[in-house]
Structure 1
Amino acid sequence: PASKAANGSWNVAGLTLPGPKSDRQTIDFAIRPEDVDAGDNGLLAIVRVIEPLGPHTLVTCDVEGGLFRAVLDSNAAVAVGDRLRLAPKPDRIRWFDPETANAL
């Protein structure tokens, strides 16, 4: 879930991101697992499950009580319990109306 912030931005799990214009106070944030980058900034994610899949590693994380998946490089050194920062690629974020499920 995303809550309305100032100047057309939205708060998502402690991260403020630019987003669509909407009269709603909350909307849904969505992004595919391959569209985040591990780094110093982004959503705080606690690793719960690690799945090495050859060319990449799929990690299932807890982000503010919700499950979130991310695709990382196969050489990523992660362990269960690690804290990661996952930065969404801005042009890959999708926003939805939570009542209608329509894209915004």
Structure 2
Amino acid sequence: MSTNHVYVFKQSRPNKYSFVAEVRSMAESQNRPPSTMFVRMLSRASSKWGFSGRYIRATLPYIRTEIPIIIVFRALGFVSDKDILQHICYDFSDTQMMELLRPSLEEAFVIQNQE
């Protein structure tokens, strides 16, 4: 798999996730192995794994725990929901995309700043 590209895979049912995106990134000027980041969308049937809603979670290099994607954006300095949505979904009139992001926004509501 080449580096610095995003690959999205639709998972077969039954699965905890409906989609998994994988990004292997590597600086062109360095001789280190690529770092891999995953972004996963929980499936509708994920309630049997203890989740409700189609949350979007990220797994970052050197961090073993899944982190809600909205919290990743807040840690990067995009604090307001509007700023985050502008970076994920360019068209606010795309109601389907906004509905897909709603569970993730609600999940991360308790954290409202970069700290």
Same fold per superposition (TM over 0.5): no
* Structure showing greater Rg: 2
* Shorter-chain TM-score tier: under 0.3
Q: Which has the higher helix share?
A: 2
Q: Larger relative contact order (C-alpha < 8 A, sep ≥ 6)?
A: 1
Q: Normalising by the residue count of structure 1, what TM-score does the alignment of the two structures yield? A: 0.25
